[in-house]
Amino acid sequence: MMSNETYMNAASIIAETFSKDPNTKTGCIIVNPEGEIVGAGYNQLPSEELSWDDKGWAARHAEVDAIADAFKNRSVDIENIDKYIMYVTLFPCHPCAHLVIASGFKKLYTNCDKYKESGKYLNSETKQLLKKSRVSVNFDLCDIQADLKDQDAYNMLKEYAEKYNPYMLEYFEGGVEL
């Protein structure tokens, strides 16, 4: 198993490499109990006919994308999903929190709570929802700057791409290039 910082770096690399969102690039990875990345996602538009001007109603969030990816890959042991960990570069919105809970995840790391200072109501509701649903949310990585050149994170993402997501493989074959 790698460090939590390395896994979060991998989620950050996913966000920076793939998200085209001009305002809020978000990445998410799912890690199995053995420490292997089994799902990855980023915020994106589901159709080229949409634009980021439609983001409010059209964007697919990183958590949704990562969960769909992991289940599509059949890389998740449903009986033990509570032992998997999600790493997401932005604290989940309320609907994504519901999906995390409904999917059975019990542990989530985030390195950004963009509403922390503002005390936005929805964010505090989302935190309560996760807490009362017994999802452990860890904010220990919030003060750590992402290392987008972390070779261990790249190697993990390359292994993931080789096994589950050939579309992403071309981005990770050459090592660190951001």
Q: pLDDT tens across 38-83, in order? A: 999 999 988 888 877 766 677 889 999 999 999 998 889 999 999 9
Residue 107 has φ and ψ, to the nearest 5°, of -140, 130
Which pLDDT does position 114 carry in this prediction? 63
Nearest residue to 2 via CA among 150, 126, 108: 150
Q: How far apart are CA 170 and CA 50, in angstroms?
A: 25
Cβ count near 95 (within 10 Å):
12
Residue 143 binned pLDDT confidence (cut-offs 50, 70, 90): confident
Which pLDDT does position 116 carry in this prediction? 59
Active site residues: 63
Residue 153 binned pLDDT confidence (cut-offs 50, 70, 90): very high
This prediction's pTM: 0.90
Q: How far apart are CA 81 and CA 48, in angstroms?
A: 33
pLDDT at 104 over 80: yes
Which pLDDT does position 115 carry in this prediction? 59
- Tokens standing for 4? 């939590």
